[in-house]
Structure 1
Amino acid sequence: MFEAKSVSRSDIERHIYGTYIYLRVGMGVIAVAFPVLLYAWGAAHGIPLADSMSAYYWETLEKGSPVRVWFIGGLFAIGACLFLYQGFTKGENYALNLAGLLAIGVAYFPMEWNCGSNCKSFSMHGFCAVSMFVCLAYVTWVRSKDTLSHIKDAVLKNRYANAYNAISIVMLAAPIAAALLLVVFQQKGAYAFFLEASGIWAFAAFWFTKTAELRSSSLDAPAVPPNP
């Protein structure tokens, strides 16, 4: 029962590949659930839909900010996964590491609250959030193409490239539009929340798409077949 068991190279490879598959899919699932969980948990405590996801850090102080733990926990989880994930190139890996640190920065530096005209012109929270999406957009627009050469089907390769381009545009444009609505135009309402959610869901779509792409090219499978 407690004797050491010899593990073959093929079994080790399958476990390594499986770990990366679960890590990518896990990031996608966390990202899909993140905005939904913030809203649902807030609604369960009588909190209406906030103007932005960042507002859930403070909503609502008289009730002890019940959603804060999910907001911080979700960002820390995504940040840790991004930092631990090994990119296929140095450029991708550096960008993912930086994005992971910035995600933690978004949680660590909360947005200013009820400051009115006294709000600072520079927000560390906003800087971390926008910079994180810039890093992720770089990964999806540029570095995501690094593995496409392994797909032999030209039509399928082009389909994945177009998907990555579309994801990159949404991932970058959505949070910038949300920031403009909140900071420049001072627009309150659900628009910014759903724009931010769109950026998060584009992030999720990237990891699901990347997993499908790697499976299409057999890069997500061990080179040595498992023992029968």
Structure 2
Amino acid sequence: MNNKELQEHILSTYNSLRLGMIILGALTPVVVVLWGWEWGIEWMPSISAYYFAPSDNQIIYSVYPVRVLFGGILFAVGSFLYLYKGFTKWENRLLNVAGLAAIGVAMCPMYAQAGYIPYSNRLHVGCAVTLFACIGLTAIFCHSATLQWVTDVKKRAMYKTIYCITGLMMIAFPLVGILMAYGTDAIANRVYWIEAAGIWAFSAYWITKSIELKQTELELYAMQGRVDLKAA
């Protein structure tokens, strides 16, 4: 493998990590519902509720068929976030914490019965908020490290606007979802859509980041030593 092939291989790895997070984020709110319907699970009030949503088919391998899928997705996203190296020290730290938090969401599921496993529900919510807060902060405060290489002023402003909007959505929606969960049944049943919006904002962020980096070819130039990316 020559130097050019190695650079293309490394670049492909980063593109694949971003693509994986885009796909998993975009499909998760849809897949958990469809997989639940396949096993006779009715629409749940929140995405987290699908973890221990019981199936009406007692013959299957598990009475909670969605938890395997849900947990697998969270572990995959968490691994991708941890393995993905940011352009600055702070971006990298935030992504690492977000990755660990995603795994924490899977390992501390939300139980319908309060107190069944001490602190599991609180840890689940805490990890979920941490996950989205870290990605949101990355989107809002760490975009300048790469945007400075976008020469088109209008495109740079557009990317910045998208990053700030998606970042705020990722921070705000989980908090709104928590407040709604303690409201009336009619309000609590809409938590799913708030969670879904936060997850789709996550995908939108990575879509935008992928488009930006493809336009500037910054990763390739960095590997070739053609740009100076000093860690912040």
* Same fold, judged at TM 0.5 (above): yes
What corresponds to 1:9 in structure 2? 3
Task: Flag structure 2 segments of 5+ consecutive residues without an equivalent.
Answer: 225-232
Farther-moved stretch of structure 1 (210-219 vs 155-164): 210-219
Greater shift, 122-131 or 47-56, is seen at 122-131
Alignment check: 8 A CA contact 1:55 1:111 kept: yes
- 2:204 maps to which residue? 205
How far did residue 105 of structure 1 move? 0.5
The C-alpha deviation readout for 1:33-61, integer Å capped at 9, x for no partner, is 11111000001111111111111111016
Greater relative contact order (CA < 8 Å, ≥ 6 in sequence)? 1
The equivalent of 1:3 in structure 2 is none
Residue 185 of structure 1 corresponds to 183
Using the alignment, how far apart are the partners of 2:134 and 2:7 within structure 1? 30
Structure 2 residue matching 1:47: 3-state secondary structure: coil
Distance in 2 between residues matched to 1:149 and 1:76, nearest whole Å:
33
The structure-2 alpha-carbon separation of the partners of 1:60 and 1:122, relative to structure 1 and needing over 3 Å to count, comes to closer
In structure 1, list runs of 5 or more residues that go unmatched.
1-6
Contact 1:215 1:221 in 2 (8 A): no
Instruction: Tell me the amino acid that sits aligned with residue 113 of structure 1.
Output: A
Residues 176-200 of structure 1 deviation map (CA, whole Å, 9 limit, x = unaligned): 1111111x32545541011101111
Q: What value does the CA root-mean-square deviation take over the aligned residues?
A: 2.0
Partner Cα distance (1:159, 1:168) in 2 = 14
Residue 87 of structure 2: aligned partner: 88
In the alignment, what sits opposite 1:43? Answer: 37
Matched residue type, 1:60: P
Provide, for residues 150-203 of structure 1, a one-character-per-residue CA deviation record: whole Å limited to 9, x for no partner.
011111100000010111121111111111111x32545541011101111111
CA distance in 2, matches of 1:121, 1:83: 23
Shift of 1:80: 0.6
Superposed CA offset, 1:10-40 (max 9, x none): 1111111111011111111011111111000
- Any residues of structure 2 matched to 1:55-94 within 5 Å, and which? 55-60=49-54, 63=58, 64-94=63-93
The structural deviation recorded for 1:112 is 3.0
What is the match of residue 24 of structure 1? Answer: 18
Distance in 2, Cα, partners of 1:61 & 1:49: 12
Per-residue deviation, 1:85: 0.6
Mapped partners of 2:77, 2:197: distance in 1? 16
Match of 1:130? 129
Distance in 1, matches of 2:185 and 2:199, equals 21
Shift of 1:221: 3.5
Task: Map 1:153-172 to 2 at 5 A.
Answer: 153-172=152-171
Q: Deviations over 1:106-141 (max 9, x none)?
A: 11011131339xx97971111111111111111111
Query: Taking structure 2 as the reference length, what is the TM-score of the superposition?
Result: 0.87
